[in-house]
């Protein structure tokens, strides 16, 4: 039995005929009769009987119709609770981000949502391989993920809102000979030692593209995922590194130079399951992330 069948039984008890129930529910009498037959199959005792030309409820049918009132009341209460949850402006919203995105977005997000009545955000850092970001949407409402331009798109199981399309520049010490150039090429940087990420992380594909464009195998001296740590190693003379232009805090001892000849940029996307944005609080946080992205990019203009 289901909610609709129970309602039909209740209406039959109150209105007294299949025709009257059909008119009240704006369906055909045959549709009402079909639902009553389906309901009867799930119950061992008769629910209706003929009284002349009328179809009336048996005692068992009346008992079930009375119970249907309780069912409808409970369902109405449950719907109201869900509606309040969905429309609540100050609900809790969980947000995960990889490290550099978290450093750039989290402070702006917290400041934007500091007023009373705003969503309450729970923040988490998740530094995972690109293919693992979509799985995080099972745990978090919103997941900030990065993907290189030429990488495969995100799976259709998640919805994607692109926040930033961020260039990746070559970071070097301010006194490095290449710092005098406005832009560098793969050939310029191919013979330098490199600080790069571990295999499976998005930036690694750009390192491979530099090697392919220069026709030389790069010397990967150090494997460091955290850009702030990599910046310190670059400053200490450990080699060159690719650095995001906007989301990584500028190091006073480094300069960033654009890279010509290869695609060197990444998308920072918000991933989420589509049903999450049914909640007003999640939509509010997503809007603030978009606003934060504009501020992050604008700060470099």
What is the predicted pLDDT for the residue at 188?
96
- Is there a single domain that holds both residue 79 and residue 125? no
134 and 218 in a single domain? The answer is yes
- In a shared domain, residues 71 and 43: yes
Tell me: do 81 and 146 sit in the same domain: no
| Cβ within 8 Å of residue 44, ≥6 positions away | none
Can you tell me the distance from the alpha carbon of 301 to that of 245, in angstroms, rounded to the nearest whole number? 11
Let me know: does 241 contact 194? Beta carbons within 8 Å. yes
- Alpha carbons 253 and 255: distance in angstroms, whole number: 7
Q: Distance (Å, rounded) from C-alpha 67 to C-alpha 247? A: 59
**Residue that has been written with the tokens 């809102």 in this structure:** 161
Same domain, 112 and 261: yes
Q: Of 65, 87, 109, which residue sits at a domain end? A: 87
Quick one: 69 and 21 in the same domain? yes
The domain in which residue 287 lies consists of 92-298
Gap between the Cα atoms of 20 and 228, Å rounded: 73
- Those residues with Cβ within 8 angstroms of residue 16's Cβ, 6 or more apart along the chain or in another chain: 54, 56
Residues 267 and 163: their CA atoms lie apart, in Å, by 8
Count of residues in the chain: 301
Place of tokens 């995922």: 225
* 180 plus 242 within the same structural domain: yes
Q: Do 77 and 101 share a structural domain?
A: no
60 and 192 share one domain: no
pLDDT of residue 232: 97
Q: Checking DSSP bridges between strand 193-196 and strand 142-148, what pairing results, if any?
A: unpaired
Residue 81 CB-density burial (10 A; 0-12 exposed, 13-18 middle, 19+ buried): exposed
Q: What pLDDT is stored for residue 54 in this prediction?
A: 81
What is the C-alpha separation between 225 and 99, in angstroms, rounded?
9
What are φ and ψ of residue 72, in 5° steps? Answer: -65, -40
CA dist 283 and 276 (Å) reads 9
Residue 173 is given by DSSP the state E
CATH of the domain at 9: 1.10.10.10
Please answer whether residues 216 and 188 qualify as being in contact, where contact means their C-beta atoms are separated by less than 8 angstroms.
Answer: no
- Distance from CA of residue 272 to its chain's centroid? 2
The pLDDT profile of the chain, 301 residues, written as one tens digit per residue, is: 788 898 898 888 888 888 888 998 899 989 989 999 999 998 889 988 888 878 888 999 889 988 888 888 887 787 777 777 878 889 999 999 999 999 999 999 999 999 999 999 999 999 898 889 999 999 999 999 999 887 889 999 899 999 999 999 999 999 999 999 999 999 999 999 999 998 878 788 899 999 999 999 999 999 999 999 999 999 999 999 999 999 998 999 999 999 999 989 999 999 999 999 989 999 999 999 999 999 999 876 5
| Distance, CA of 37 to CA of 48 (rounded, Å) | 10
In the chain, how many domains are there?
2
How far apart CA 9 and CA 282 sit, in angstroms, is 40
The predicted pLDDT at position 65 comes to: 87
Pair (181, 235) in one structural domain: yes
Percent helix / strand / coil, the chain, rounded to 5: 45, 25, 30
**Distance between terminal CA atoms of the chain?**
63
**Whether 238 and 280 share a structural domain:** yes
Give Cα 167 to chain centroid, integer Å. 23
**With b meaning 16 or more CB within 10 Å and e meaning fewer, what string describes 226-260?**
ebeebbbbbbeebbbbbbbbbbbeebeebbbbebe
Distance between CA atoms of 263 and 149, rounded to whole angstroms?
7
**Of 40, 60, 87, which residue sits at a domain end?**
87
What residue has token string 């919203």?
93
**How many C-beta atoms surround the C-beta of residue 61 within 10 A?**
24
Do 39 and 163 belong to one domain? no
The pTM (predicted TM-score) of the whole model is: 0.73
Which of 54, 87, 120 lies at the terminal end of a domain, its last residue? 87
Q: Residue 241 maps to which CATH number?
A: 3.40.190.290
């Amino acid at each position: 039995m289901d909610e609709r069948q129970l309602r039909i039984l209740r209406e039959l008890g109150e209105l007294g005929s299949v025709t009257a129930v059909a008119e009240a529910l704006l369906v055909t009498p045959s549709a009402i009769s079909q639902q009553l037959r389906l309901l009867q199959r799930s119950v061992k005792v008769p629910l209706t009987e003929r009284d002349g030309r009328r179809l009336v409820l048996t005692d068992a049918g009346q008992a079930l119709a009375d119970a249907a009132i309780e069912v409808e009341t409970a369902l109405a209460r449950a719907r109201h609770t869900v509606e309040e949850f969905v429309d609540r402006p100050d609900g809790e919203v969980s947000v995960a981000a990889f490290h550099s995105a978290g450093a750039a977005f989290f402070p702006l997000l917290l400041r934007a949502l500091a007023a009373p009545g705003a969503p309450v955000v729970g923040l988490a850092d998740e530094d995972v391989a690109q293919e693992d970001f979509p799985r995080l949407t099972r745990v978090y409402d919103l997941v900030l993920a990065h993907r290189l331009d030429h990488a495969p798109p995100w799976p259709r199981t998640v919805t994607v809102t692109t926040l930033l399309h961020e260039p990746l520049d070559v970071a070097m010490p301010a006194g490095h000979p290449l710092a005098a150039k406005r832009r560098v090429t793969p050939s310029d940087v191919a013979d330098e030692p490199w600080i790069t990420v571990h295999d499976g992380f998005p930036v690694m594909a750009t390192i491979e593209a530099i090697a392919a464009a220069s026709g030389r195998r790069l010397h990967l001296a150090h494997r460091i995922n955290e850009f702030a740590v990599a910046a310190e190693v670059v400053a200490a003379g450990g080699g060159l590194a690719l650095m995001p232009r906007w989301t990584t805090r500028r190091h006073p001892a480094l300069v960033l130079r654009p890279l010509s000849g290869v695609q060197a940029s990444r998308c920072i996307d918000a991933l989420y399951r589509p049903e999450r944005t049914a909640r007003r609080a999640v939509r509010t946080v997503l809007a603030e992330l978009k606003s934060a992205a504009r501020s992050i990019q604008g700060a470099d203009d």
